[in-house]
């Protein structure tokens, strides 16, 4: 028997997975103390990640002749930069994200039978993938933390500090700071699913609208569908504005991570290191899929609205009804996409395959250059 996951459980799981980086804004009804606690968590996490990044970058420089340590430091540096960027973008988009999440929460709490049917459909489609990947992100951080105890390393990472760290109190403080920072990086990576939930919600709204469109038989029912269609388009535009730069930061840093990781896999590195790098490359490729899957779904369901309204009983309707139906069909020819002009044409599975192809092309070119230089 498959595990039954409710809509509220799915939301709570995602919200808790990003709790430590404060990317999920509180509702506008929270009191002053709750707002202060939210702001304190954000500033604390941002400061700890920044203090984590600087010695990592120093480690990349210091260990440039030690490929294993350099690769470890470089991969963690890229993940930390992405975490900081996501936190800054979510902070800047706080009012918009607050509105978007409030709209989604309100819809789920007041959903009728038809709406719950589609909510369950989407939860069953993605909850295993969502739970597995989120858990994996935290497990990878846990491996980094446990590894020093098994291999007698000084710290969980290959950071290099510009001061003496032999004093026990300083060592304990820095070790603890790195442990916390690693979990913050995992929490920041989970922001991808916060974005994905908003994208899936758009898909749910379009599918429900499509179901209603097929049942249209009067001008009044059609007018309600037109109003709902405009509301969904507006909501999708707000989501696009809120998440486009989060998506761009993820694509940019993961591209760099995949290219460098693939180069490392070709080097004469220990098998254990290659396994870790392969894991990082796999996670990077998965991260873009988290965006591409729901983005592709939005394109499909927003286009299907035209077919849904076409199947309703409109040919025998009034001239106004015919005109409105034709207007919806015409609008549906231009699907809703999540894109960044000049960088990401549209988030879709086609873009995802193109991303993988282009990234490995960069890798091949860089490999040829390095081989020629060697």
Q: Tell me the C-alpha distance between 289 and 192, whole Å.
A: 10
* Token couple for 311: 């199947």
CA–CA distances in Å: residue 146 to residues 52, 140, 141, 151: 18, 10, 9, 9
Tokens matching residue 124: 């069953």
- What DSSP string runs through 43-81? HHHHHHHHHHHHHHHHHHHHTTT-HHHHHHHHHHHHHHH
Only one residue has tokens 């442990």, namely 179
What pLDDT is recorded for position 2?
44
Q: Which residue has the tokens 């109190």?
A: 169
**23 touches 186 (CB < 8 A):** no
pTM exceeding 0.85 = yes
Collapsed DSSP state (helix, strand, coil) of residue 302: helix
Predicted pLDDT at 338: 87
pLDDT at 373: 60
Query: Is residue 305 a contact partner of residue 334, using CB atoms and an 8 Å limit?
Result: no
Residue 342 contacts by C-beta under 8 Å, 6 or more apart in sequence?
none
pLDDT value at residue 1: 35
Q: pLDDT tens, position by position, for the chain (374 residues)?
A: 345 678 888 899 999 999 999 999 988 888 899 999 999 999 999 999 999 999 999 998 988 887 777 877 888 888 899 999 999 999 999 999 999 999 999 999 999 999 999 999 999 998 999 999 999 888 888 887 887 777 777 888 888 888 888 888 888 899 899 999 999 999 998 999 999 999 999 999 999 999 998 888 888 888 898 999 999 999 999 999 999 999 988 888 887 777 767 766 666 666 766 776 777 777 778 888 999 999 999 999 999 998 888 887 776 678 888 888 888 888 888 899 888 877 888 889 998 998 888 877 777 776 777 666 65
Beta bridge partners of 344: 340
All structural domains of the chain with their residue ranges = 17-373
Segment holding 290, helix H or strand E? helix 271-310
């Amino acid at each position: 028997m498959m595990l039954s996951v409710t809509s509220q459980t799915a939301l709570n799981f995602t919200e808790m997975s990003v709790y430590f980086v404060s990317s999920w804004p509180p509702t506008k009804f929270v009191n002053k103390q709750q707002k202060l606690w939210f702001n304190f968590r954000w500033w604390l996490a941002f400061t700890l990640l920044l203090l984590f990044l600087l010695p990592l970058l120093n480690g990349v420089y210091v260990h440039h002749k030690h490929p294993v340590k350099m690769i470890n430091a470089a991969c963690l540096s890229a993940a930390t930069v992405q975490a900081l960027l996501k936190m800054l973008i979510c902070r800047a988009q706080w009012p918009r994200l607050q509105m978007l999440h409030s709209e989604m929460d309100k819809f789920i709490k007041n959903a009728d039978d038809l709406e719950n049917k589609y909510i369950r459909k989407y939860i069953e489609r993605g909850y295993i993938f969502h739970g597995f990947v989120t858990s994996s992100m935290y497990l990878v951080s846990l491996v980094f933390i446990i590894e020093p105890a098994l291999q007698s390393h000084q710290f969980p990472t290959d950071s290099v500090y510009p001061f003496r760290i032999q004093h026990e109190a300083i060592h304990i403080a820095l070790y603890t700071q790195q442990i916390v920072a690693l979990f913050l990086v995992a929490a920041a990576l989970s922001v991808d699913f916060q974005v994905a939930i908003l994208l899936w919600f758009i898909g749910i709204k379009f599918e429900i609208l499509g179901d209603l469109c097929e049942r249209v038989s009067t001008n009044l029912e059609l007018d309600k569908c037109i109003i709902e269609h405009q509301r969904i388009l507006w909501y999708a535009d707000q989501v696009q504005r809120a998440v486009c730069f989060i998506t761009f930061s993820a694509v940019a840093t993961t591209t760099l991570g995949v290219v460098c990781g693939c180069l490392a896999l070709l080097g004469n590195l220990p098998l254990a290191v290659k396994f870790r790098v392969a894991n990082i490359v796999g996670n990077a490729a998965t991260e873009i899929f988290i965006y591409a899957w729901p983005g592709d779904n939005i394109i499909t369901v927003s286009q299907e609205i035209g077919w849904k309204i076409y199947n309703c009983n409109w040919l025998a309707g009034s001239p106004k009804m015919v005109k409105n139906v034709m207007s919806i069909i015409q609008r549906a020819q231009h699907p809703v996409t999540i894109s960044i002009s000049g960088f990401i044409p549209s988030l879709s599975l086609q873009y995802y395959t193109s991303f993988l192809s282009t990234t490995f092309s960069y890798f091949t070119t860089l490999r040829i250059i390095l081989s020629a230089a060697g």
